[in-house]
Amino acid sequence: MKLAILALALFAQTTEVDLPSLLQVYRQLHASPELSGQEQKTAKFIAEELRRLGFEVTEEVGRYDRRPGWKSYGVVGVMKNGPGPVVLIRTDLDALPMEEKTGLPFASKVTAISASGETVPVMHACGHDLHMTCFLGTAQALSRNRKSWQGTLVMVGQPAEEIGAGSAALLRDGLYTRFPKPDFALALHTSAQLEAGKIGYCPEYTLAGVNSVDVTIRGRGGHGAYPHTARDPIVLAAQFIQAIQTIVSREVRPIDAGVVTVGSIHGGTKHNIIPDEVQLQLTVRYYKPEVQQLILSSIERIAKGLALAAGLNEDRFPIVKYGEEPVPATYNDRELTERLAQVWKREIGDDRVVQVDPVMGAEDFSRYSKDTGVRGCIFWLGAIPEAMMKEHKAQGKSLPSLHSSDLAPDAEKAIPTGIKAMVTAALELFQSGGTNQSSGPKPQ
């Protein structure tokens, strides 16, 4: 009861009073997105806001990472407020190379130079602008009411989530050694499947792990009129694409989850030329490490087997490389997640807090808790406008997904809900006295 009264008081004192200014912050962030590794202005804004609220702030965390040409704009704000648990709250800072088509008056018109040197449009199509606004609202609420909690609050502005690299860079740069190591790590993520004003939670496996795989199918080129003199890598690539679709359906246990998707295929230059090779880009998704290993080894086996069947020698076997750094699956500590869900149901409303299924999207928030001894929970913040959700349910009208150029969250409802959920979660954990023992099973 004491927590309920306190949470409602904090909500009234901060969220409602400051909502107009927070909405202005949201519109500002939405209109000025920055690509992964380029979040300099965004990070500076977050850092300045945290300093204004009394946090001890360190910028450019992750800048010493070993990635070639890497620039990291990680922000860490620490507020020590007496003895007690250490609670880390993370937001992501980056946006996507997409052209916005929402028609909003504050829609992004930003362009930037991508890592490949192209000029691309930029948009917050994954809700990171919502995340940052809720993050700052939470920091305001907790910093202005320090008499109401004890412990250490660590606010992390993480770059490069969209390329799965930011959390690794921060951790390698001493996030858990240069700064207080958390007992708990929390984050929220926009949901394009939940109505604004609702919270979704999922115990245990919540988001998938991901590997990016580059496959070069090699053959022997020749004239399109004389295919018998060549070994056609385009035909081999077609066979390979078909064959790897049987990995999940026939090799992965039916009760386990996996995805193998070919997202890009390039080969050839002219109608009548059989090329020497074909390039493919794959994304592989999974929850369990053993499924990851099975899928990756099967891709290599199938690629080699098809080359042998085509009569190719070892010097023309396919080349399989692993691209971006793998992102592990996100595993929500069950006891922690269910505990917070009960708090949210009490404070936000039982009908506005729902348990949702795991998804095969990925989130590098997973690294904050995987193999670190830190208990983590990421939860979903509903963003879909009420009218749109009603049309979806009544008429089957499709909803714009995350990474859609049409994604336009109902910020007026989502932001107060996200702040309230995060504030009540933090207050619950600060009252726990630092207990960091999980009663649920751990991922292997």
Q: Look over the chain and give the mean of its residue pLDDT values, rounded to a whole number.
A: 93
Query: Rounded CA gap, 322 and 216, in Å?
Result: 12
Tell me the three state secondary structure of residue 190. Answer: strand
Query: Rounded CA gap, 139 and 154, in Å?
Result: 10
CATH of domain 209-322: 3.30.70.360
> Which tokens hold the place of 252?
């992965």
Query: Rounded CA gap, 155 and 137, in Å?
Result: 12
Query: Rounded CA gap, 148 and 134, in Å?
Result: 20
Task: Give 230-257 pLDDT, tens digit per residue.
Answer: 999 999 999 999 999 999 999 999 999 9
Segments of the chain assigned to CATH 3.30.70.360:
209-322
Cβ neighbors of 270 (< 8 A, separation 6 or more) are none
Which residue, among 305, 204, 299, 319, has the nearest Cα to 258 in the 3D structure?
Answer: 299
Label residue 243 exposed, middle or buried (CB < 10 Å: 0-12, 13-18, 19+).
middle
% of the chain beyond a pLDDT of 90: 89
Taking 80 as the threshold, does the pLDDT of residue 9 lie above it?
no
pLDDT of residue 72: 85
Among 1-15, 67-81, 171-185, 254-268, whose mean pLDDT is lowest?
1-15
CB-CB contact of 131 with 138 (8 Å): no
pLDDT of residue 325: 83
Instruction: Supply the DSSP symbol for 367.
Output: G
Question: Which residues are annotated as catalytic?
Answer: 92, 162
For range 335-342, the mean pLDDT: 98
Tell me the three state secondary structure of residue 203. Answer: coil
CB-CB contact of 90 with 156 (8 Å): yes
> Which tokens hold the place of 109?
């018109």
- Helix%, strand%, coil% for the chain, nearest 5: 40, 25, 35
Segments of the chain assigned to CATH 3.40.630.10:
2-208+329-430
CATH architecture classification, 2-208+329-430: 3-Layer(aba) Sandwich (3.40)
Taking 80 as the threshold, does the pLDDT of residue 437 lie above it?
no
